[in-house]
Structure 1
Amino acid sequence: MIHKELLTFLTSLEKNNNRPWFENHKPQFLELDSAFKNSINEITDLLNQHDVIEKSKTYRIYRDIRFSKDKTPFKVHRSANWMRAGVERRGSYYMRIKPGNHLIGVGFFGPEKDDLLRVRKELEVDAQELRDIIEEPQFLKTWGTFQGEQLKTAPRNFDKTHPDIDLIRFKSYHFLKSFTDQEIQSPEFFDNINKSFETARPFLDYMTDVLTTDLNGESLI
């Protein structure tokens, strides 16, 4: 579970997003940050029961404001990412804790240009296997539909009338699932998100197969 104290701190930080306030409350932040990282380790252990995690990453609370018009120095959320191990396990898991707007995610966030083209080419040839996975009732109930950004029309060199252009147009292939403040404070929260992540495994395995083979099905690894 995520403790209420973290939500209270983040809510206060959003109202006082400046360095003097943060420095005055830094001991509290460090204590909460340590607890959050322990939570990430707990979730890593759960993920390793059905997947192989190479590493987890807890994102810093400090914002990079060098090229941003928004000069507030701190993020008002905490987030983490889990990378699957090895080239034979592609994709990642994600969690963000933000008061009133918590979420988890799974998939391929901002894929490399070559990876994106490879996925699109696969879908151009045959998208039915992917549709079978993401339209499976339990998967659909858990994750809904793709949340990635889409092009308004077909990518270059793709037919805009292709029957699967709705999938080919995506620029990112990932899913998001939201949670309430009450849900993330439940003792079952970590188990619940782990079950959601496990439900996404067929999607990750399909995408891995695509990204580690060519259009003829020959292995690239």
Structure 2
Amino acid sequence: MTSYFSDASFRFLRGLARHNEKAWFEAHRADYEAHVRQPFLRLITDLQPALAAVSPYFRADPRTVGGSLFRIHRDARFSSDKSPYKSWQGARLFHERRREVPAPSFYIHLQPGESFVGAGLWHPEPDTQRKVRQFILDNPSTWKRVAHDPKLRRRFNLDDSEVLSRAPRGFPADFEFIDDLKHRNWVFWRPLDDALMTGPRLRKTLEADLAALGPFVDYLCAALDLEF
């Protein structure tokens, strides 16, 4: 089995977090390429067959421009934090129609002590939120089977970082899954420890995670009239 990341990957990211400036990054660009970017692109390439088995409409795309891997550069135009670089590296395994309509995605995050894998809708627009809420309201039994599956809940956490304090307007407060409708994001995720990220079991573990998250992503796709 192949290992992708190493202690050197985390050493670079820790160093970048301490020295988040262009001069330091340029002096260590070769480390970034060798230990973070290129290994991540190989991982993305190797995950595509397993992802296609989950859904033929999702892509693990290793292209360096327009592909799955996010840029390490931050967009700081509208942020008070003007740090030029992210102190992590992330990749989105996306729906082929993502540029046409809002779509859920799978996500892999590499960061010392904070790596994780997840899937769902993150920061959807209000219209997309309403569509998902209405779909859950109209299809509660399938939602229960998919999003409240004990096996899924034992392995993954439902993100609760942004939750409304009361029922969203227009939805019944006594609905069985009203707490789920209060969510602004619908994302299941789980942490991945550093030893797993640097070890030989990473790809097989992620392949199992993608398969386990598939039914949840399928439900979100149905809510948004997307193929799965």
TM-score, normalisation: structure 1: 0.86
CA contact (8 A) 1:148 1:175 kept: no
CA distance in 2, matches of 1:60, 1:38: 16
CA contact (8 A) 1:147 1:176 kept: no
Q: 1:126-166: per-residue Cα shift (whole Å, max 9, x none)? A: 42221122222221222133446211112122233433211
RMSD over aligned CA atoms reads 2.4
Q: Supply the AA of the counterpart residue of 1:42.
A: D
State the secondary structure of the residue aligned to 2:53: coil
What is residue 216 of structure 1 aligned with on the other side?
A: none
The alignment status of 1:176 with 2:179, answered yes or no, reads no
Q: Any gaps of 5 or more consecutive residues in structure 2?
A: 62-66
What is the number of equivalent residue pairs in this alignment? 214
Give the one of 91, 115, 118 matched to 1:80: 91
What is residue 209 of structure 2 aligned with on the other side?
A: 196
Following TM superposition, by how much is the alpha carbon of 1:75 offset from its aligned partner in structure 2, in angstroms?
A: 0.7
What is residue 31 of structure 1 aligned with on the other side?
A: 34
CA contact (8 A) 1:148 1:174 kept: no
State the secondary structure of the residue aligned to 1:58: coil
Residue identity (%): 24
Following TM superposition, by how much is the alpha carbon of 1:177 offset from its aligned partner in structure 2, in angstroms?
A: 0.8
Aligned positions of 1:96-175 closer than 5 A = 96-147=109-160, 149-175=162-188
Q: Supply the AA of the counterpart residue of 2:180.
A: L
CA distance in 2, matches of 1:126, 1:148: 24
Q: 1:4-33: per-residue Cα shift (whole Å, max 9, x none)? A: 211111111111111111121122222332
CA distance in 1, matches of 2:193, 2:182: 31
CA contact (8 A) 1:51 1:84 kept: no
What is residue 217 of structure 1 aligned with on the other side?
A: none
CA distance in 1, matches of 2:20, 2:147: 40
Give the one of 24, 39, 48 matched to 1:44: 48
CA contact (8 A) 2:54 2:210 kept: no
Q: Based on CA coordinates, which of the two structures has the bigger radius of gyration?
A: 1
Q: Supply the AA of the counterpart residue of 1:63.
A: R
CA distance in 2, matches of 1:144, 1:66: 32
CA distance in 2, matches of 1:58, 1:170: 27
Structure 1 stretches of at least 4 aligned residues deviating more than 4 Å after TM superposition: none
CA distance in 2, matches of 1:128, 1:27: 52
CA distance in 2, matches of 1:148, 1:117: 18
Q: 1:51-110: per-residue Cα shift (whole Å, max 9, x none)? A: 2223441111111122211122111101100113358xx521001100010001111122
Aligned positions of 1:11-30 closer than 5 A = 11-30=14-33
CA distance in 1, matches of 2:176, 2:31: 54
**CA distance 1:142–1:73, change in 2 (3 Å):** same
Q: Any gaps of 5 or more consecutive residues in structure 1?
A: 214-219
